[in-house]
Amino acid sequence: MGGFRLNWVDWLIGGCFFWLIFRGYCKGFVEQLFELLGSVCALVLGFYFYQKAGSYLASNIHLSTPLANMIGFILIVVGISGTVGFIGRHWHEMNKNEPVALIDGALGAVLGAFKAAVIIIMLLLIAIALPWNYFHSPIEASSFAGDLMRLAPYFYIIQDRSLPPDIPRLVVSPEGLQLRGMKEQNLEGATCIACGAKVHYLGYVKEGLSYYPQVYCPKCHRVSDGCLTFEGYHAIYGVCPYERLGTMGVIDCKVWPNLKPTSVHGKCPVCGRTQ
């Protein structure tokens, strides 16, 4: 009889869980919660105000605009997350000898486990997106990785519901990690580039080791991750499909391949181009 075997991916996952649960217990729930809220608020505000901060830095320190924007984003994120994190640490220090500290530590361990799951899922998604088979086989054979990857669709759902509409979403594709400028649910009713029909969004569907968005055209029966719609193509590549493919070039989805590729037809509802 074959026993339960762990490979090196399982040991790494187990070690990460143990460390973050232990750190969560030591830090406590409140301090971690402040750190988490501070990080989220810092990223959201950083995306909203980095251009204003960059403009101020560029005009006063005479930096190039891209460099000033990057520095402005870093300053906003570090400043806000550091301030909120300091408040959490100050609360923890004030209450570490109180009876509430035991409950705070226990809840902190639970939050640490949640953070471990989120971090590991993100790392697994990144590893799967890399074009190196060295990672793929151990991840596929790992029991712990398989269990965590079943939670990947919830990662995307949390991402869609928690981030503002104009903040790009992180998505895994055969071309690697991508930042897409639209919610995947907005692909419902998008326009097929092959026949012009409105597609249906079917949610995240498992393919291989990961989960990918899937849309279906009821007219030409094409399936894609959104790249075969005008709206999805604009969100993924930042340009109109006519700009890259013209009227003669052909395209097919790398995630959900169809019987044959297609060229672009009809008017783009995003930018209005027809050729």
The model's pLDDT over 225-265, given as tens digits with 9 standing for 90+, comes to 889 999 989 888 888 999 888 767 889 998 889 999 999 99
Segment 67-84 mean pLDDT: 83
Specify the pTM.
Answer: 0.58
Is the model's pLDDT at 29 over the cut of 70? Answer: yes
Residue 3 has pLDDT above 60, yes or no: no
Q: How confident is the model at residue 166 (pLDDT cuts 50, 70, 90)?
A: low
Mean pLDDT over the full length of the chain: 82
pLDDT of amino acid 197: 94
Give the pLDDT mean for 7-36.
Answer: 87
Six token digits for residue 273: 């181009």
Whole-number CA gyration radius for the chain: 23
Give the per-residue pLDDT at 54: 82
- For residue 201, what pLDDT is reported? 92
Between 35 and 271, name the one with better pLDDT: 271
Q: Provide mean pLDDT across the span 135-140.
A: 78
- Residue 179 region, left (φ>0) first, then alpha (ψ -120 to 50), else beta? beta
- Cα 112 to chain centroid, rounded: 20
H-helix or E-strand containing 179? strand 176-180
Query: What does the pLDDT average to over 150-174?
Result: 70
